[in-house]
Structure 1
């Protein structure tokens, strides 16, 4: 209620646009473009890890929503018209994995000069998408926090798996 009561309409409107950076269609398109680019540049391990991270998170989030079956916030006004279960936030977990993996790939593949900016940009996008879900009143704060936590846990597993494979691959 506080978000709706004390947040200017312009701020809510701005977040209604920014929240789309975490939409499923954006994730699918970005996943496809990055996977193809990695594959064509012969970074096949990164390409497989990238797809596994994004697709795996979608499955994990869907499963968690079915387990918890939490309804969305009820409000008289809101910017987002959403349906389905609320917990955990799919936009938040998706942004954490999608842009977190981009930050990781930036650390691994960009020149040293661009590594910190890539991670900072990825972090800013994740935080913006997560906050947007509260500002557009599509989720409770606990939904967003759970999405960030589940996405962060899956991201850590995926990065650890990729790093393990990179350092323990057998003869080619």
Structure 2
């Protein structure tokens, strides 16, 4: 049995929340609203939102196709979705990966390298949190990263065709 410290588990649950669809949709709406307010490139905002919405569809499709049950955890109760791939990890990779790339290309952004690296690390932390909490097998998280990287790559390819200063 894994040994967990309560103080660490509280922090890890906060990290895992950064990959929840509810949090990411809310954050995406805020980013879009601010982006409209400060007049970000409209095409970039559209691609950001298409990346996120289609990422959710991809996640649901993959979970349905594979239908893998979650690890047995008496304290978890009945899980509301399948385990493979990790949805939190996939969506964190899609969401933060896009923002990381966008920040790295935005020459006018103060601390852009810091933001690019920091945002790029969040999917790693979310993935590790899912295994630590025991709600996913490591292979679920690896698949979430792989699918997320592939998916965000599709949208970054489209973003690469737009000019960011």
TM-score (norm 1): 0.85
Residues 34 and 129 from structure 1, CA distance in 2 versus in 1: closer, same or farther, beyond 3 angstroms? same
Greater CA deviation, 105-114 or 20-29?
105-114
**Residue of 119, 122, 126 corresponding to 1:125:** 122
- 8 A Cα contact 1:36 1:47, kept in partner: no
C-alpha distance 127-55 of structure 1, shift in aligned 2 (>3 A): same
CA distance in structure 2 between the partners assigned to 1:18 and 1:53 by the alignment: 22
Q: Is the 8 A contact 2:103 2:109 kept in 1?
A: no
RMSD value, Cα = 2.0
| Counterpart among 132, 135, 145 of residue 135 in structure 1 | 132
The 5-angstrom pairing of residues 55-134 of structure 1 reads 55-77=53-75, 82-111=79-108, 114-134=111-131
Gap runs ≥5 in structure 2 = none
Moved more, 90-99 or 12-21: 12-21
Q: How many residues align?
A: 162
CA offset digits 1:94-117 (Å, max 9, x no partner): 101111111122123253752210
Q: Distance in 2 between matches of 1:116 and 1:139?
A: 31
Query: Normalising to structure 2: TM-score of the pair?
Result: 0.88
Between Structure 1 and Structure 2, the one with more helix by share is 1
Deviation readout 1:68-115 (Å, 9 max, x if unpaired)? 00000002446x974210000110011011111111221232537522
Matched, 1:163 2:160: yes
